[in-house]
Amino acid sequence: MRIMAIDYGDAHTGIAISDPTGFLTGFSTTINAYRPEAVAEQVAALCREHGVEELVLGHPINMDGTRGPRSEKARAMAELLRAATGLPVTLWDERRTTIDAHQILMNNGKNAKKRKKTVDAVAASLILEGYLTYKKSHG
């Protein structure tokens, strides 16, 4: 079962898709679009192209556990994605994901400019990895 993780952002949205076994990240990319509808359309196209059956959307909860405007944006995007794809969407706590993605890229010698280009896809991969690990241990 292929699962897609989405790190939704205002201008850049990271995408990571599992391999057919649903255990590993197989494909990642970044969607560069500002309009939520455009993001949802591109996600739907990628779902069809890769045979995705489930979506996991990063849910930015504040470090203290409260929900702010970014959480509301994620919830609205989840609704758009359900409508555009007809697939189930799970909101996934992504509190440290982008910070961790920057750290991983920095440790691998990527300069700030190169990090900016790939950080969203790496963040999506981390969301996917966390979700797949959870599913394996609770499956």
* Least-confidence region, from 10-14, 30-34, 54-58, 93-97: 93-97
Per-residue pLDDT, 97: 75
Q: Say whether pLDDT at 91 is over 90.
A: yes
Q: Say whether pLDDT at 128 is over 90.
A: yes
pTM score, whole prediction:
0.87
Q: Say whether pLDDT at 115 is over 70.
A: no
Q: How many domains does the chain have?
A: 1
Q: Say whether pLDDT at 110 is over 80.
A: no
Domain boundaries, position 6: 2-138
Distance CA 45, CA 98 (A): 25
pLDDT in tens, 36-85: 999 999 999 999 999 999 999 999 888 788 888 989 999 999 999 999 99
pLDDT in tens, 17-30: 999 988 888 899 99
Residue 90 sits in a domain of what CATH number?
Answer: 3.30.420.140
